[in-house]
Chain A
């Protein structure tokens, strides 16, 4: 089994296609939608975690391409250097997915990698340079 994070770029005329339905039903993949910006007659973007058998993921990606939808697999990740972190919270101001949050009891930063969209906004927002991109 394998898990990848992918961004799908929908041309305006393709946003009505039931892509996720086919990925789940025909290729037996588990999908977790992290971010969706889909509007009728506009180009759209979907960020999704895909989990399944490696060859099924490959077939699924092939299917996506054949539908005229471009995709990009994430090959970066965000590394949080927790030891140097002072837990100020400046990075939480810009995190669009809620991956980085402050715990409301301990006021400690929490980082849920699963929810991370690797948008890198926290990297710039962190005043102590403890959020870094790993390529």
Chain B
């Protein structure tokens, strides 16, 4: 009954692959039984569309004449990092404009570039014999530069704590606005549709896995930062809170603003909504069972963001999605930060791409680390406060 990636790709080529989204598979298996589902279904598509701060793009602007070795560079007044080769740079999603407000940042530059808009480039340097120019101002867009590829050090976090606020004042966080006295709870996941929740041990996702990223094809390039393959898990293997994460890569020249959007969180700063879709090949019955996970069986902790970040209780995503969560003896309003609607759109797009032979699966070149310890920053020596 086991299938190989090659066998599944053969079916995709013929247009006979059976592909369902991670939400559809739940009812399909209920109606048809696990054995039949594992045999008949070839691919389950998963997706997420949430704010992911650890995102950014590498750029190569091309050389001017006379050339410049850029020491500092700004794109629409947002600083980019150029401590690499002369006209290479990296701009991170959360970088803020030097104009000093929270309205525009790296994420907006990325969205505008994807959208085909012109971006003001200003760079300065100290001048060398081989790169004499000391200053440059021009306009770039995604057509007139060489490379522009997204490299996101941490995306698709397997799971994440929900947030509330036990203090007596409103606090503004990357988990949205948190009202005083635990008057709301915010959470960020696509739950039963979420990529790494459907393959909790990363059996089918590894380095080189082809994915949907921002409206085009992308790849898993490495483990994500803070990747934790050994978190607390529920009986079904799904982590309770953060676990694995992925570093992703993809060409922004082919991305669409539909699936990459800049965001501003009041009092926090800028972030980037990234649309990700990951196909899970149903290679055996065990992986099929993993994809049947539903929101009532996925748990996270509710963390107090005003204090020591201690957990107030464990909660299922079914309860969070209901809009009302029991906390400290009262019913508290819960709200999502990640768009399930857009995640469904991506899961369906990926499904149709596979069914129409426009997207083939890959065998991972190498699995992601199964052993990894998360370090805290060690405060020591003369710098210790």
Which A residues are closer than 8 A to B by beta carbons? 86-90, 92-94, 101-102, 104, 106-108, 121, 124-125, 127-129
Interface-lining segment among B127-135, B197-205, B258-266: B258-266
B279 adjacent to chain A (CB < 8 Å): no
Q: List 16 A-B contacts (CB under 8 A).
A: A88-B51, A88-B339, A89-B337, A90-B177, A93-B178, A93-B333, A94-B177, A94-B179, A101-B323, A104-B323, A107-B341, A121-B177, A127-B51, A127-B264, A127-B273, A129-B264
Residue of B with least CB distance to A129? B264
In chain B, positions 265-283 with a C-beta closer than 8 Å to chain A are 265-266, 271, 273
A125 with B266: CB separation less than 8 A: yes
Distance of A101 Cα from B333 Cα, bound (Å): 11
Minimum CB–CB distance from B55 to chain A (whole Å) comes to 14
Given the interface contacts A94-B184, A127-B271, does A88 sit within 8 Å of B179 by beta carbon? no
Residues in B whose Cβ lies below 8 Å from that of A128? 261-264
Minimum CB–CB distance from A85 to chain B (whole Å) comes to 9
Residues in A whose Cβ lies below 8 Å from that of B266? 124-125
B273 with A90: CB separation less than 8 A: no
Given the interface contacts A127-B264, A127-B271, does A90 sit within 8 Å of B176 by beta carbon? yes
Residues in A whose Cβ lies below 8 Å from that of B361? none
When A and B form their complex, what is the total count of cross-chain residue pairs whose Cβ atoms lie within 8 Å?
Answer: 74
Minimum CB–CB distance from B121 to chain A (whole Å) comes to 25
Interface of A, helix, strand, loop or mixed by DSSP: loop
B211 adjacent to chain A (CB < 8 Å): no
Residues in A whose Cβ lies below 8 Å from that of B340? 87, 107
Residues in B whose Cβ lies below 8 Å from that of A90? 176-177, 186, 335-337
Residues in A whose Cβ lies below 8 Å from that of B177? 90, 93-94, 121, 124-125
Minimum CB–CB distance from B160 to chain A (whole Å) comes to 14
B186 with A93: CB separation less than 8 A: yes
B285 adjacent to chain A (CB < 8 Å): no
A88 with B186: CB separation less than 8 A: no
B297 adjacent to chain A (CB < 8 Å): no
Residue of B with least CB distance to A103? B341
Interface of B, helix, strand, loop or mixed by DSSP: strand
Distance of A90 Cα from B273 Cα, bound (Å): 13
Residues in B whose Cβ lies below 8 Å from that of A129? 264
Residue of A with least CB distance to B103? A129
B338 adjacent to chain A (CB < 8 Å): yes
A104 with B321: CB separation less than 8 A: yes
B71 adjacent to chain A (CB < 8 Å): no
Distance of A93 Cα from B176 Cα, bound (Å): 8
Q: How many residues of B contact A (CB 8 A)?
A: 30
B305 adjacent to chain A (CB < 8 Å): no
B184 with A127: CB separation less than 8 A: no
Residues in A whose Cβ lies below 8 Å from that of B322? 104
Distance of A121 Cα from B266 Cα, bound (Å): 11
Given the interface contacts A86-B49, A88-B337, A93-B186, does A127 sit within 8 Å of B342 by beta carbon? no
Q: Write out, one digit per residue, whether chain B residues 285-313 have a CB within 8 A of any chain A CB (1) or not (0).
A: 00000000000000000000000000000
Distance of A107 Cα from B295 Cα, bound (Å): 15
A86 with B321: CB separation less than 8 A: no
Most B CB atoms within 10 A — which of A90, A124, A128? A90
In chain B, positions 90-142 with a C-beta closer than 8 Å to chain A are none
A125 with B176: CB separation less than 8 A: yes
A86 with B264: CB separation less than 8 A: no
Distance of A125 Cα from B271 Cα, bound (Å): 14
Distance of A125 Cα from B172 Cα, bound (Å): 9
Residues in A whose Cβ lies below 8 Å from that of B271? 127
B344 adjacent to chain A (CB < 8 Å): yes
B337 with A87: CB separation less than 8 A: no
Distance of A121 Cα from B178 Cα, bound (Å): 11
Minimum CB–CB distance from B105 to chain A (whole Å) comes to 12
Distance of A107 Cα from B50 Cα, bound (Å): 14
Distance of A36 Cα from B153 Cα, bound (Å): 48
Residue of A with least CB distance to B333? A93
Residues in A whose Cβ lies below 8 Å from that of B261? 86, 128
B263 with A92: CB separation less than 8 A: no
Residue of A with least CB distance to B271? A127
In chain B, positions 334-353 with a C-beta closer than 8 Å to chain A are 335-342, 344
A102 with B184: CB separation less than 8 A: no
